[in-house]
Structure 1
Amino acid sequence: MKTILVPIDHTTAAEHTLAYANKLAVRWPAEVVLLYCHPDSALTSAPAAELARQEQRLRSLVERLRYQQLTRQDGRRIQYRYRILSGCLHDHVQQEVMQHSADLLVMGLEHIDCGQQAAPGNHAAAITELVTCPVLVVPPGRRSLPSRLVFAADFSTLNPSLLPRLSALQEAFPAPLDLVQFYPPTERPRRRTFKQALTKAAAHLPWLMLAPHLVEDDAPLEGTSEFCARNQAQLLIIAPTSHEQLLRYFDSCHTTTRAYHTQIPVLVLRAQERQPSVACCDKCAERLALANKKSILPDYHSVRWA
């Protein structure tokens, strides 16, 4: 069974996050692992008793929300697990994702970590850097599952390992998918390259209703928000190449002006880091070194000389 890890911070917005995760769990279907990290500074003289009280509080929240926006039959089908830990989310989330083999992490845009509030999206961006599974950032408010998706990326440089990870989520998000590639006017000579990359990416995705779009715009982030608004998208999928690029999506200038892309859930994909090859013996080490040397040197024999 698939697993959704949901960090909870006991704020009102967290209820919306859990309600959204519940709908996903029914559609996929998936098991929900609820993770609450209680700040060390907030612990009483009896930490075990306090953690037990927080678990009971979490169970009460689950029972209250289990049937909200769901039929009783669907609510009963959801399986929950509870993880109550002492400390900060960013200290535990990596281990929890690995321990539960989480396929998706769902958290709030305004999640509070370690008892500290940050600008919207900052904690989510930090957590995304720590885990390898996709992270779904849900803004406050009641919302239904998406009926239209937008995947905005630079497909000419997109890491190939991201497409299978996105394909694994097709059952959770079976809505029509728009692939959009933005390029500045200075890159017009590369239009054919961009179009080929879009077509190649579309061929590796299982969505039945899929449409590629090549758009000229020198401000891709603003263009993405306008594209989502124009197409009434309910989920934006991004594949940032750096932590700074991810933070720009949730910059205060966008959250303050309530830009469209900050008002819908955002699914963040991260490429899996390739592990370096490790030799088990001296003979294997020599073979790896020879292979690396061959990969660096040009292969003149494969060139067709005129």
Structure 2
Amino acid sequence: MEPIVCGTDFTESSINAAFYANELAHWLDAKLVLFHATKSAGFPMLVPEQNGGDNGQEMSPGTEEIRMKLLDDLLHSLQNKDWAKSIPYEKRLQKASLTDMAQALVQEVRAGLLVLGNEGAQNLQEVLYYTTAANVIRASPCPILIVPPKVTFQPLHKIVFAIDLGDKPLLDTEFLTTLASLFKAEIIFLYVLPNLVEEGLESLKSSFVAETKSLLYKNVSFHIEFNPRIEEGISQYCRRKRANLLVMVSQLNDYTHHLIDEFYHQDQSFHTYLPILLLPDHRKLD
């Protein structure tokens, strides 16, 4: 398994994300690379930006040693557990912005996953547009896992993938199916329609089911939910199914634009209690 890269700014949320990444790395038998971008220090990873820029402060004299000690202490805490099998660790501290360091590090170590904490962002619009990590999310060549505050790791049994049926073919789902295979989880492809329209539904479902047959992973299902508010439909379905993970596409299309608009008006969306795996849409990056 490719390395897992996790950013921390030593806030409670980012430390929680590091512990989540640590658990996942042991399950995947993957190297964990913990990094701290000094220009983002003191600013939570997913806290809305100030003045429209990448929140950052230059290191003051002596601060680098303090931050390195914090990084060492966090790494020691991650290692100080009774694991059946050890994994390799690496730490990085660099005078750079979160965006620049994350992008460079992901490419350098050929990461299979980037993990970030979510603190302060009230809706998905802030996460994808107006946080210090927004540029990383939109440009990352690898999947990104956003971990809400106080959400602890648990084995994945139900994975809900919110999809847009008009956007085909399926994405590169290799990492997703690797996760699902590890836990023998069910992947539920969910499409939320704002109106109850019977005409064409069976054809739509049959077409998608035929497409999923190309997946190497077979424990998949497809569900159409009807709700005038797409976000609410996804949230209610995830709660009803007791989902452990929500999957979405990081690149924006008409469907995700509509979804993000709804998130903007929701105070307690599912991103506050459910980890979100954002898959890069390589079809739109090529």
Q: TM-score range by the shorter chain?
A: 0.7 to 0.9
Q: 2:5–2:32: 8 Å Cα contact kept in structure 1? A: yes
SS of the residue corresponding to residue 222 of structure 1 reads helix
Query: Structure 1 residues 159 and 37, CA, compared in 2 at 3 Å: closer, same or farther?
Result: farther
Map 1:200-219 onto structure 2 (within 5 A): 200-219=210-229
Equivalent residue, structure 2, for 1:158 = 168
Supply the AA of the counterpart residue of 1:57: L
Query: Structure 1 residues 264 and 174, CA, compared in 2 at 3 Å: closer, same or farther?
Result: same
Which of residues 239, 248, 268 is equivalent to 1:238? 248
Equivalent residue, structure 2, for 1:36 = 36
From the CA coordinates, give the structure whose radius of gyration is larger. Answer: 1
Identify which range, 222-231 or 146-155, moves more after superposition. 146-155
Q: Which structure has more helix as a fraction of its residues?
A: 1
Which of residues 98, 101, 105 is equivalent to 1:96? 105
Q: Normalising by the residue count of structure 2, what TM-score does the alignment of the two structures yield?
A: 0.79
CA deviation map 1:87-124 (0-9, x unaligned):
21112222211111010111111289xxxxx9566434
CA deviation map 1:282-301 (0-9, x unaligned):
xxxxxxxxxxxxxxxxxxxx
- 2:278 is aligned with 1:268: yes
Query: Structure 1 residues 202 and 106, CA, compared in 2 at 3 Å: closer, same or farther?
Result: same
Equivalent residue, structure 2, for 1:248 = 260
Report the Cα distance in structure 1 between the residues aligned to 2:66 and 2:259, rounded to whole angstroms: 35
Report the Cα distance in structure 2 between the residues aligned to 1:180 and 1:111, rounded to whole angstroms: 27
Equivalent residue, structure 1, for 2:75 = 62
Report the Cα distance in structure 1 between the residues aligned to 2:78 and 2:262, rounded to whole angstroms: 28
Where in structure 2 are there 5+ consecutive unaligned residues?
40-55
Report the Cα distance in structure 1 between the residues aligned to 2:182 and 2:116, rounded to whole angstroms: 16
Task: Provide the aligned C-alpha RMSD in A.
Answer: 3.0
Q: 1:2–1:29: 8 Å Cα contact kept in structure 2? A: no
Equivalent residue, structure 2, for 1:179 = 189
Q: 1:163–1:204: 8 Å Cα contact kept in structure 2? A: no
Q: 2:158–2:245: 8 Å Cα contact kept in structure 1? A: yes
The one of the two structures with greater contact order (alpha-carbon pairs below 8 A, sep at least 6) is 2
Which of residues 145, 152, 158 is equivalent to 1:143? 152
Which of residues 190, 194, 205 is equivalent to 2:200? 190
Where in structure 1 are there 5+ consecutive unaligned residues?
113-117, 277-306
Report the Cα distance in structure 1 between the residues aligned to 2:239 and 2:141, rounded to whole angstroms: 29
Query: Structure 1 residues 111 and 50, CA, compared in 2 at 3 Å: closer, same or farther?
Result: farther
